[in-house]
Amino acid sequence: MCRGNSPQTCEVGAILKDQNYSPLRLPCVGRLSSEFILRVLTLGIDKIVVMRCEDNFCRFKRGSLTNWCRLQLTNSTIKNFGYDENTLTSVEHSHKAVYDTDSCVGCGKCVFICPYDAIESAAWGTPQINLDKCTGCGACALVCPTQAMQLDNFEYNPTSALIESYGKATKELKARGIPAILVFCCQWCEFPALDHLQGLAGEKTIVMEIPCFKGLDPVHVINAFYCGFDGVLAFVCPTDDCKLEKGREISERNATVLKDTLEKLHLTDRFEIYEVSPRFKEDFDSKLASFTKRITPLEAIPKVKEVR
């Protein structure tokens, strides 16, 4: 699976019709070599399914198309070795905005904010999503006042519930005097952390993957403090590395609003935004260590009022 389009575990099972499978996330399936596929088949794997982005959605520019061409050639090769024609298959999957028209009040904010012109206004009805243009950045979900617009795999209520459950799990850490840190990490800026530290895998750090910083609702950051976290970090892509480069100013405005709110709550020193890249593999660890050192001596924060 391309890490930019990989669905939730339950969705993978539905797509593969509940077959036994082992998931493998790659920065881009377009880099999946024929040699790798042939080697895997020799290990006893019966079938390989490549879950690739739609061609227009690929964030590595033509990676999905490259993958499709390579798969055709590889398929021809393995057939000559006696493998079944369904041994190697591919399916398309891309995260998109999902729309509950019954909840829409027709304010038009989503039309205005979408940096990819994927939402079109209608004279006598609710806006329409052009899924061919939608990149799943989440900007529309952020401004929707009724949560009629949601981002597939990063819906507001499930995300809030997950943060709350993680917050409850930090009580043991806090009892031992260890600061509990929540990290929101763009799925493109730090591969190792997302592969090894997601969820509760980290000893004192909980990492939540987000599709793009444009889609991170500042409310989630505030509620993280309400749920018991001592510090919150956001790791984002540098400007030059951003895979969803359009609308960068949206994330910058969100950050400004968030920092202003944190200042009023006297929580500024407990939140930080860092730019990291997979090209510099030590960045994540060093910046996380620096932040942890900074907040460790701080006193426990007062009860923060929950934001809805």
Architecture of domain 97-151: 2-Layer Sandwich (3.30)
Report the alpha-carbon distance of residue 21 to residue 9 in Å, rounded: 11
Average pLDDT on 256-272 reads 92
Beta partners for 185? 209, 235
Residue 194 contacts residue 209 (beta carbons within 8 Å): yes
Instruction: Give the helix ranges, DSSP H, for 128-170.
Output: 139-143, 156-169
Which residues on neighbouring strands pair with residue 206, listed in sequence order?
A: 182
pTM of the full structure: 0.79
Mean pLDDT lowest among 105-114, 210-219, 244-253, 298-307: 298-307
Domain ranges of the chain: 9-92, 97-151, 156-295
Q: Are 86 and 109 in contact (CB under 8 A)?
A: no
Percent of the chain, pLDDT > 70?
90
pLDDT tens per residue, range 121-157: 887 778 889 988 888 888 898 889 998 998 877 888 8
All residues at 6 or more sequence positions from 243 whose CB lies less than 8 Å from its CB, including other chains = 4, 59, 60, 188, 212, 237
Separation of alpha carbons 48 and 31, rounded Å? 15
Domain 156-295 top-level CATH class:
alpha beta
